[in-house]
Structure 1
Amino acid sequence: MKKIQKTNAMRFLDQHKVEYEAHTYEHKDGDPVDGVHVANMLHQPVEAVYKTLVTQANTKEYLVYMLPVEKELDLKKCAKIAGVKSCEMIHVKDINKITGYIRGGCSPLGMKKQFRTFIEMDCLNQDKIYFSAGKIGMQIEMDPKTLIDLIHVQAGDITKE
């Protein structure tokens, strides 16, 4: 078995002595980076695989949202749960500057700065969820309740019906 090179997200979990499992999947340039493709590669149901999206509120604060890969963010609900007037998706070109990660490899853990993070409350129905380890081709599997406690994630309704 080949040794997995640790990402910032994995080092963060190790530092906090949190149990997780790392999974890798084959990814070649030109392959899709969408989450449904990732769920298929991991042989996991789409409702257990989460994507991490970054928005900016009207207050200029960056807010992080985690949701199942096949769902869509409802920006009105996102603003409401965060207690701001509005928020919009950041530009793809700004992801690295803000988070230290790239599109398709954005993890809620180990960002340049820990931003307020929210997760779709359906995660509480899952024993384990999968999300980016901070690199395309690598996912972290862990208990969503542990993630919520670790970085003070707020669970709520953030997706479109």
Structure 2
Amino acid sequence: MAQKTNAARLLDQMKIAYELIEYDVDESDLSAVTVAAKSGLPIEQVYKTLVARGDKTGVLLACIPGDQELDLKALAVLSGNKKVDTVPLKEVQPLTGYIRGGVSPVGTKKKYPLFVDERIESVQRVSVSAGIRGCQMALSPADLLRATGGRCGRISKSP
């Protein structure tokens, strides 16, 4: 049985159905493609959460398909910024409470605006980090958006 994380407890409080999926962690490869393979999920359903900072809005989160790259210009437009950059790795944990490879869009230390790639609307289930390495949460895209107040738009591109 997977351990309950803060993200999972928040979904419980909101009465949102989800499934915890555990997988073996390889510290040298924390990529979403590897997570998908190890957890038996199609890569189209595995979303990674990135931490960014806009020049006007400050810190924000972006959730994109695991096999895609964040389109910083598109994220800037969607979030009302002129410029957006990902934050340095050393800032991720102090800002979110999560470590690299375990950043969940649910349950960050502070509630940041979340922007989700619109491709999420084409999948039945989406999988995001449960807040620790080695554990994913699978839930409906509508429930993820409801739990986070996420806003959809095209914010990713092929690598």
TM over 0.5: yes
Counterparts of 1:48 and 1:73, CA distance in 2:
16
Distance in 1, matches of 2:115 and 2:88, equals 19
**Residue in 2 aligned with 1:9?**
7
Residues 128 and 138, structure 2, Cα contact 8 Å, conserved in 1:
yes
The one-letter code sitting in structure 2 at the alignment partner of 1:103 is R
The 2-side partners of 1:57 and 1:85 are apart by 8
1:73 aligns with 2:70: yes
**1:14-57: CA deviation from partner (whole Å, max 9, x where unpaired):** 111110000000125x3411100000011211111000001001
1:58 is the counterpart of 2:55: yes
Match of 1:137 among 134, 138, 141: 134
Unaligned runs of at least 5 residues, structure 2 = none
**Aligned counterpart, 1:146:** 143
Counterpart Cα distance in 2 of 1:27 and 1:38 = 8
The whole-number CA distance in structure 1 between the counterparts of 2:56 and 2:2 is 39
Question: Which segments of structure 1 move beyond 4 Å, counting only runs of 4 or more?
Answer: none
Q: Which amino acid aligns with 1:78?
A: L
Out of 29, 42, 45, the residue aligned to residue 45 of structure 1 is 42
- Aligned-partner SS, 2:98: coil
Find the counterpart in structure 1 of residue 22 from structure 2: 24
Question: How many residues matched?
Answer: 158
Task: Kindly state the Cα deviation for residue 60 of structure 1 after the two structures are TM-superposed.
Answer: 5.6
Check the 8 A contact 2:52/2:61 in 1, yes or no: yes
| Distance in 1, Cα, partners of 2:72 & 2:44 | 20
- Give the alignment's Cα RMSD to 1 decimal: 1.1
TM-score of the aligned structures, taking structure 1 as reference length? 0.94
- What residue is the counterpart of 2:154 in the other structure? 157
Output the CA distance in 1 between the equivalents of 2:57 and 2:156: 22
Native 8 Å contact 2:76 2:82 kept in 1: yes
Q: Is the 8 A contact 2:78 2:153 kept in 1?
A: yes
Distance 1:53 1:160 in 2: 14
Q: Which runs of 5+ in 1 are unaligned?
A: none
